Amino acid sequence: MKKWLLKYMKDHAWLITLSIVIVVISALVDIMPPYIVKDAIDGYITNTSLPKAERLQGVSKDAFLFLAVISSSFLLNFLSLYISSYTGAKIVYEIRRDLFDHVLNLPMSFFDKTHSGVITTRITNDTQNLMEFFTTVVTSLVKDAFLIVGIIFMLVKLSSILLLHLSPVLVLVVIVTVVFRKYARRIYNIIRSNIAKINAFLAEHIAGMTVVQAFEVREIKKKEFRDITQEYYENAIKQLKLFGFFRPSIDWLYSFGIALIVWFGARYVYNQRIGIGTLFAFASYLDMFFSPIRDFAEKFDIAQNSLASADKIERILKNEREELGRGGRKHVEKGIVEFKDVWFAYEDENWVLKGINARFEPGGLNAIVGETGAGKTSMLSLLNLTYIPQKGDILIDGTRVHDYDLLELRRQIAVVPQEVILFSGTILDNVRLFDESIPEEKVEEALKKVHALEVFQKFPEGIKTKVTERGGNLSAGERQLIALARAVLFDAKILVLDEATASIDTATEARIQQTLFELAKDRNVITIAHRLSTVKDAKVIFVVHEGRIVEVGKHEELLKKKGFYHRLYSKLKEGGEEVGKVEDRADRSWQDSAKKTFGGTMEEFGNI
Ligand SMILES: Nc1ncnc2c1ncn2[C@@H]1O[C@H](COP(=O)(O)OP(=O)(O)OP(=O)(O)O)[C@@H](O)[C@H]1O
Ligand SMILES: [Mg+2]
């Protein structure tokens, strides 16, 4: 049994104990009816040695007893089902709640390597399967085990000689069941992984449908999907055959057992070695014995399913959470950011950042430039500990970022990411991040600062317009405006902008630029820049190349060096952008122009 699952069970120990006790009692009660009938037949109905009145009285007594036993069996079964379902639902609710809480606190590296479809399945389906564990496994299997032991005891008590005749059948039942179990488990695991593959495939391709359709890879994808469903189909058929064989063979063994009993039983009845009631009870017990075995396949499936789910949930739980509030420092005073020989890799030793040294100060824009994949986004994602560098230190106001309270730290660094993701809700909700204590006027003020208010006011429902999943009903530029307004609203000491205006028209961008310059007066604004307008007026420019900072300085100084920056810059000009006329050009980023010049391969761009 899993340790973590035990922990949840412990909290409801007495409910679980109660349901097991009830299950055991109900198994005992369920065993009684055939014996009562046997008593009525052998003790009274066929017992000619007793006077008639006594025989009738005896039969009535047994009939009442029978009724009482059947009624209490009904009551006990109801109670055990109710209590176990209640306990199961409660435990599963707690697990689901804690699991999501756990996932919320996992580091970004976990999400890089885990498919979102997988996480969803864990929190919804797998927890549901665990519920089956409590309702089916705990109650049915425990009950079946007690029933089988009880029945064998009764069979011995009734007639051990009949049982002896039956023993070859029972041995065969055991063999068939053991063999079945072995194959069922194997095929079961294969089928699970087939289903997981189908789910992952669907999740990925439905989310990426625009790409699938735009690039006309529909035929290829159709074939891929056909292949994986085919594999699933073939295994499902194998499983069906196995199950199809198991149940009828158990049924056959049952009928064979009954035939044996009638065959031998009749002889013993003639010889008066056993009563007719005993024969009846014996047959009834045999029926009771086979019914849990018949359902075994199905219950086995459920049990296996819930255990597999427990395993998978455990794998998620094993991922360590980020420790919130590890450090004690809470306030960012000035917002001076320093990178000291920072080395970072997403995995193993594939260094993305190789010894970054940089100092970003408030007052004027800090710009970072460099070609695609140079490591710009990675650099800034270390700042609020989205990822943790393997070597080196990042200091904010002279204190290592690790020594800040993570929650407070993140609150004081506003990020406008490269890819803005919005949540279902209104524009208003998305700007204030669902914090209703922030008044609407403040949100409007922030939107105004980034010149977005006029844009959204044109919408039919203004800033109360609904945003669909991930912001699908807004343009890329509109999404960026929302993210910018959010950053302004939360008034952080450090403002990080990752190509924040890449999709915004040049006229609006110029105005936003003005706002940024004003904001930069008393806070640290670090921007990954892509347009010359931003770079030219920046206080310092950091040129990143293959994970290193290769040049630092102002636009004019860097140009004079005739190094990396000069090359980036002249390529940009060749790509069609002229200094001084920058504002006339819409939507042209460093990468876009580089791609245009070099047919899109960034490696080439880096090597020039
Ligand atoms: N989550 C990730 N897991 C593994 N590798 C990653 C991940 N994110 C980025 N990388 C790799 O790290 C390198 C730097 O990526 P980064 O996103 O920092 O580049 P960038 O300079 O921001 O580029 P761009 O201008 O295209 O945004 C790239 O080679 C990229 O493939
Ligand atoms: Mg980037």
603 token code pair:
């490696």
Residue 74's pLDDT band, with cuts at 50, 70 and 90, is very high
Looking at the structure, do residues 312 and 419 belong to the same domain, yes or no?
Answer: no
Does residue 166 belong to any structural domain of this protein?
yes
Q: Is 386 in the pocket of ligand 1 (CB under 6 A)?
A: no
Task: Report which of residues 181 and 336 the model is more confident about.
Answer: 336
Q: Which helix (H) or strand (E) holds 376?
A: helix 376-381
Does residue 518 belong to any structural domain of this protein?
yes
Task: Report which of residues 414 and 581 the model is more confident about.
Answer: 414
Looking at the structure, do residues 40 and 94 belong to the same domain, yes or no?
Answer: yes
pLDDT score, position 594: 34
Report how far residue 236's alpha carbon sits from residue 223's, in angstroms, rounded to the nearest whole number. Answer: 20
Domain boundary (302, 318, 334) is at: 318
Looking at the structure, do residues 277 and 369 belong to the same domain, yes or no?
Answer: no
Q: Which of 189, 203, 407 has its CA nearest to residue 305?
A: 189
Q: Is 374 in the pocket of ligand 1 (CB under 6 A)?
A: yes
346 CA to middle of ligand 1, Å? 9
pLDDT reading at 601 higher than 70 = no
Does residue 332 belong to any structural domain of this protein?
no
What average pLDDT does the segment 567-591 reach? Answer: 50
Q: Is 392 in the pocket of ligand 1 (CB under 6 A)?
A: no
Ligand 1 atom closest to the Cα of residue 381 is 18
- Residue of minimum CA distance from atom 12 in ligand 1: 352
CB atoms within 10 A of CB 162: 22
3-state secondary structure of 95: helix
Looking at the structure, do residues 306 and 450 belong to the same domain, yes or no?
Answer: no
Task: Report which of residues 589 and 18 the model is more confident about.
Answer: 18
Does residue 445 belong to any structural domain of this protein?
yes
- Residue of minimum CA distance from atom 17 in ligand 1: 377
pLDDT tens per residue across span 271-302: 988 999 999 999 999 999 988 887 776 787 78
Residue 572's pLDDT band, with cuts at 50, 70 and 90, is low
pLDDT reading at 591 higher than 60 = no
Rounded percentage of the chain residues whose pLDDT exceeds 70: 92
Q: Is 375 in the pocket of ligand 1 (CB under 6 A)?
A: yes
**Which residues form the domain of 158?**
3-318
Rounded percentage of the chain residues whose pLDDT exceeds 90: 45
pLDDT score, position 596: 34
- Residue of minimum CA distance from atom 10 in ligand 1: 346
Domain boundary (318, 352, 381) is at: 318
pLDDT score, position 188: 85
Looking at the structure, do residues 168 and 313 belong to the same domain, yes or no?
Answer: yes
Looking at the structure, do residues 312 and 430 belong to the same domain, yes or no?
Answer: no
Compute CA 321 distance to the chain's CA centroid, rounded to the nearest angstrom: 15
Does residue 378 belong to any structural domain of this protein?
no
Residue 173: give its domain's CATH number.
1.20.1560.10
Residue with tokens 């996480």, as numbered in its chain? 119
Looking at the structure, do residues 72 and 207 belong to the same domain, yes or no?
Answer: yes
Looking at the structure, do residues 158 and 293 belong to the same domain, yes or no?
Answer: yes
Residue 597: give its domain's CATH number.
3.40.50.300
pLDDT tens per residue across span 417-475: 888 888 888 999 999 988 889 999 999 999 998 888 988 988 989 999 998 877 778 88
Residue 324's pLDDT band, with cuts at 50, 70 and 90, is low
Q: Is 112 in the pocket of ligand 1 (CB under 6 A)?
A: yes
pLDDT tens per residue across span 504-563: 788 778 777 888 888 888 889 999 987 767 788 889 999 999 999 999 999 999 889 888
Looking at the structure, do residues 281 and 206 belong to the same domain, yes or no?
Answer: yes
Looking at the structure, do residues 291 and 412 belong to the same domain, yes or no?
Answer: no
Task: Report which of residues 117 and 427 the model is more confident about.
Answer: 427
Q: pTM value?
A: 0.73
How many residues make up the chain in this entry?
Answer: 608
Q: Is 352 in the pocket of ligand 1 (CB under 6 A)?
A: yes
Instruction: Give the count of domains, the chain.
Output: 2
pLDDT tens per residue across span 353-365: 999 999 999 988 9
DSSP letters, 507-529, are HHHHHHHHHHHHHTTSSEEEEE-
Task: Report which of residues 491 and 178 the model is more confident about.
Answer: 178
Looking at the structure, do residues 288 and 368 belong to the same domain, yes or no?
Answer: no
Q: Hey, which of 110, 344, 377 would you mutate to test ligand 1's pocket, going by the most ligand atoms within 8 Å of its Cβ?
A: 377
pLDDT tens per residue across span 138-177: 778 888 889 999 999 999 999 999 999 999 999 999 899 8
pLDDT score, position 567: 87
Does residue 354 belong to any structural domain of this protein?
no
Q: Hey, which of 347, 351, 378 would you mutate to test ligand 1's pocket, going by the most ligand atoms within 8 Å of its Cβ?
A: 378
Does residue 92 belong to any structural domain of this protein?
yes
Q: Is 547 in the pocket of ligand 1 (CB under 6 A)?
A: no
pLDDT mean across residues, the chain: 86
DSSP state of 333: S
Q: Answer for the pair 421, 474: CB distance below 8 angstroms, yes or no.
A: no
Residue 325's pLDDT band, with cuts at 50, 70 and 90, is low
Residue with tokens 């205006």, as numbered in its chain? 501
Q: Between the CA of residue 454 and those of 10, 313, 458, what are the distances in Å?
A: 58, 48, 7
Domain boundary (255, 285, 318) is at: 318
Q: Is 356 in the pocket of ligand 1 (CB under 6 A)?
A: no
Report how far residue 601's alpha carbon sits from residue 596's, in angstroms, rounded to the nearest whole number. Answer: 9
Residue with tokens 């761009």, as numbered in its chain? 605
Looking at the structure, do residues 369 and 248 belong to the same domain, yes or no?
Answer: no
583 CA to middle of ligand 1, Å? 28
Does residue 353 belong to any structural domain of this protein?
no
pLDDT reading at 125 higher than 50 = yes
pLDDT score, position 142: 85
